[in-house]
């Protein structure tokens, strides 16, 4: 996110928008895809495939470590509170 300007500006951001901004920042900083989740000790990426029908595919990314669990918990909390 880049904001530039030469004058003072006041912007109101709702609580939900603040959570979404935090999610974007954390996702970028820790390279955590917003489609990741943890299942059976693995970081999994959820992908939706489209043919004549759409279906969900789950791809194992890596074994989940402590940091992955912290990020996943943070994402779940922020997502719930932003909607």
pLDDT of residue 79: 81
Query: Residue 50: its pLDDT value, please?
Result: 86
Residue 3 has pLDDT above 80, yes or no: no
Residue 43 pairs in a beta bridge with 38, 62
Q: Can you give the pLDDT at residue 82?
A: 67
Q: Tell me how far apart the 2 most distant CA atoms of the chain are, in Å.
A: 52
Per DSSP (E only), the strands in 2-53 are 36-39, 42-50
Q: What is the pLDDT of residue 59?
A: 93
Whole-number mean pLDDT of the chain? Answer: 88
Share of the chain above pLDDT 70, in %: 96
Long-range contact pairs involving 33-42 (C-beta distance under 8 Å, separation at least 24): 34/75, 36/61, 36/72, 36/75, 37/72, 38/64, 38/68, 38/69, 38/72
Residue 77 scores a pLDDT above 90: no
The domain ranges of the chain are 15-82
């Amino acid at each position: 996110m880049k904001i530039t300007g030469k004058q003072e500006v006041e912007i109101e951001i709702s609580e939900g928008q603040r959570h979404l901004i935090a999610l974007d920042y954390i996702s970028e900083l820790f390279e955590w895809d917003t489609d990741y989740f943890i299942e059976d000790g693995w970081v999994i990426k959820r992908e939706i495939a489209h043919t004549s029908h759409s279906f969900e595919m789950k791809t194992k990314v890596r074994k989940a470590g402590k940091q992955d669990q912290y990020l996943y918990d943070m994402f779940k909390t922020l997502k719930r509170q932003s909607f």
